C-alpha cells in the first residue's frame, strides 16, 4: 500500500517536519501530533483509507465519560456488526471491542451491562472483562503525555481533540473526511454533534 498523508487524500494535513515517533527516521504521515504511536486522527484516516472502496466512513469519537462512551459505541457495534477500536490505558494502547454480555440486547444503562469482550493486538487473544474493570482499569481518560493533542498547523486546539476524553474509532454515516472528530451531547444514544477538528 502506498504511504500517503491526509493531505494527499483530501484532508488538511501536510507531512509534519522532522521525525514523528521514535526519532529514527520514522514519519507517521497520517499523524497530526508529535507522539510515540498512532494518534486517533491517524487511526481514523487509516480505517477510512482501508475501506474507501466500500464507501465506509470512520471518525474518532470523543466521549465525556466511560459509561456514555461504552453504551454508545456498543450501539455502533450492533448496527454495523464490526469491532470498535478503543483507546485504552490512558491512550497508550488500542484494542478491538467485539461484543458484550448484558441483561438485554441493547443496554441503555451501565447496570444492564456485565462484560466487555475484546481482542488485544499485542497477543491476538480474546478477553472478557467485567464492565467494572473495563471502565475503571481499561477504558480510561486519554492522558498519555507521549500522545498529546496536535501542536502544529490548523489542528491546534481549541477545541480539544482526544486529551482528557474517552476515545474510540467508529464507523458512522457522516460524509465528512476524518479530519473531523465526533462528540456526543445529550442522553445515550442520541444525536451526535460535529466537533470541528479543522475549521473548514
Report the 3 state secondary structure along the chain.
CCCCCCHHHCCCCCCCCCCCCCCCCCCCCCCCCCCCCCCHHHHHHHHHHHHHHHCCEEEEEEECCHHHHHHHHHHHHHHHCCCEEEEEHHHCEEEEEEEEEECCCCCCCHHHEEEEEEEECCCCEEEEEEHHHHHHHHCCCCCCCCCCCCCCHHHCCCCCCCCCCEEEEEEECCCCCCCCEEEECCCCCCCEEEECCCCC
What's the pLDDT at 158?
63
Of the candidates 65, 52, 40, 96, the one whose C-alpha atom is nearest the C-alpha of residue 166 is 65
How far apart (Å, rounded) are the C-alpha atoms in residues 15 and 7?
8
What's the pLDDT at 192?
42
Per-residue pLDDT for the chain (200 aa), expressed as one digit of tens each? 455 666 776 676 665 554 444 444 444 556 676 666 678 888 888 888 888 778 899 988 989 999 999 999 999 999 999 999 999 999 989 999 999 999 887 788 899 999 999 999 999 999 999 999 999 999 999 998 877 777 666 667 666 678 889 999 999 988 888 877 888 754 333 334 444 443 32
Tell me the torsion sign for CA atoms 173, 177, 178, 181.
Answer: negative
Domain range summary for the chain, segments of one domain joined by +:
39-195
What's the pLDDT at 154?
66
What's the pLDDT at 84?
95
Of the candidates 89, 82, 93, the one whose C-alpha atom is nearest the C-alpha of residue 38 is 93
Amino acid at each position: 500500500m502506498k504511504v500517503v498523508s491526509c493531505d494527499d487524500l483530501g484532508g488538511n494535513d501536510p507531512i509534519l517536519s522532522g521525525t514523528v515517533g521514535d526519532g529514527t527516521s520514522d514519519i507517521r504521515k497520517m499523524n497530526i501530533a508529535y507522539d510515540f504511536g498512532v494518534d486517533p486522527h491517524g487511526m481514523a484516516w487509516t480505517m477510512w483509507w482501508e475501506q474507501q472502496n466500500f464507501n465506509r466512513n470512520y471518525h474518532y469519537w470523543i466521549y465525556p465519560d466511560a459509561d456514555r462512551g461504552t453504551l454508545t459505541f456498543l450501539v455502533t457495534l450492533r448496527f454495523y456488526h464490526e469491532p470498535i477500536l478503543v483507546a485504552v490505558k490512558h491512550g497508550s494502547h488500542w484494542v478491538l471491542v467485539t461484543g458484550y454480555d448484558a441483561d438485554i440486547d441493547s443496554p441503555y444503562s451501565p447496570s444492564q451491562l456485565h462484560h466487555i469482550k475484546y481482542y488485544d493486538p499485542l497477543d491476538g487473544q480474546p478477553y472478557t472483562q467485567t464492565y467494572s474493570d473495563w471502565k475503571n482499569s481499561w477504558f480510561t481518560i486519554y492522558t498519555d503525555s507521549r500522545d498529546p493533542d496536535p501542536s502544529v498547523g490548523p489542528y491546534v486546539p481549541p477545541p480539544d481533540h482526544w486529551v482528557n476524553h474517552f476515545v474510540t474509532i467508529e464507523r458512522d454515516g457522516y460524509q465528512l473526511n476524518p479530519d473531523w472528530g465526533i462528540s456526543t451531547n445529550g442522553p445515550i444514544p442520541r444525536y451526535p454533534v460535529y466537533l470541528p477538528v479543522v475549521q473548514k
